[in-house]
Amino acid sequence: MMMLGLMLLFMWVGYLVGGQNGMIMAFVIAAVMNFFAYWFSDKMVLRMYRAREISEADHPRLYRIAKRVATQAMIPIPRVYIVPSKAPNAFATGRNVEHAAVAATEGLLELLNDDELEGVIGHEIAHIMNKDMLVGTIAATFAGAVGILASMARWGAIFGGYGRSDNRSNNAIGLLIAVIVAPIAAMLIQMAISRQREYKADRIGAKVSGKPLALAAALKKIHTAPIRLNLDDRPATAHLMIANPLSGKGFTTLFSTHPPVEKRIELLQKMVYETAYNTY
């Protein structure tokens, strides 16, 4: 439903600002930009964080956990990386299960016990299973296209041209909404989609690993750790992390790629209760 809303917003803004040709042009530009990132995201992100690929001989603990969870999920074993950072975090990347990678920071490996680490790896492998890279790319494409259309409208207003709006003198309010409100609305929908994918990865990952409480404990430890992975200069990768240091509280959660950690922990604990109740 949120993806449909994003597409409808794009169509409305496109019709208002640039007509059919404007819509096509904005969509093509956004699609090229985002699908290039989708295709090469694994290489770019891993290089950005100076991640080092490991084998079972290099780091038996992490590799065997990743292998065990992938086997339980019935997918190929992803490439496994370690990020040289003391901040506890992890992420998954890759365009499909055949080209997937999971990465954990040195800080995460030091902070978590085996069960908690398995819960985190389960969450990351769930992202791979759920094709979240593809879903995120599609959402980013439509949101980006709305932003491009808004930029077209702004430049049109500066130079006295409004595309289809030239013949509609009473459409100034609609154009203003398209320029200012629509990009914000598109971003809010995109962030909401990202948060829902995090909830789903928690749920699926906990089922795959069979350790929802361990994942909940890991999230709490990561959230309360004094060291944070520096994403200030890398906001484009924030959505990949299992815990986003850029997440806010209250109203600011609307602009966050991740749901509140407290809510995620609550839902994981609820999974245990529901499983026990159904078993009984």
- Would you say residue 280 has pLDDT above 50? no
Residue 17 is predicted with a pLDDT of 72
- Of 84, 93, 75, 81, whose CA–CA distance to 55 is shortest? 81
How far out from the chain centre does Cα 57 lie?
31
- Whole-angstrom Cα distance, residue 23 to residue 248? 33
- Whole-angstrom Cα distance, residue 212 to residue 218? 10
Which residue would you say has higher pLDDT here, 111 or 255? 111
Which residues are catalytic, by number?
124
- Whole-angstrom Cα distance, residue 39 to residue 256? 24
Q: What is the pTM of this model?
A: 0.79
Quote the mean pLDDT of the chain.
82
Q: Would you call 55 exposed, middle or buried from its count of C-beta atoms within 10 A (0-12, 13-18, 19+)?
A: exposed
How distant, in Å, are the alpha carbons of 18, 73, 91, 272 from that of 210?
51, 11, 20, 10
How far out from the chain centre does Cα 5 lie?
18
- Would you say residue 104 has pLDDT above 90? yes
* Arithmetic mean of pLDDT, 92-111: 92
Residue 136 is predicted with a pLDDT of 82
Which residue would you say has higher pLDDT here, 263 or 25? 263
Please list, residue by residue across 96-116, b when 16 or more beta carbons sit within 10 angstroms of its beta carbon and e when fewer do.
ebebbbbbbbebbbebbeebb
Read off the pLDDT of residues 48-83 as tens digits, 9 standing for 90 and up.
889 999 999 999 999 999 999 999 999 999 999 999
AA identity, residue 126 = A
pLDDT confidence bin for 167, thresholds 50/70/90 = very low
pLDDT confidence bin for 232, thresholds 50/70/90 = very low
Indicate the SS3 state at residue 85.
coil
* Arithmetic mean of pLDDT, 157-179: 58
How distant, in Å, are the alpha carbons of 107, 229, 266 from that of 262?
21, 19, 6
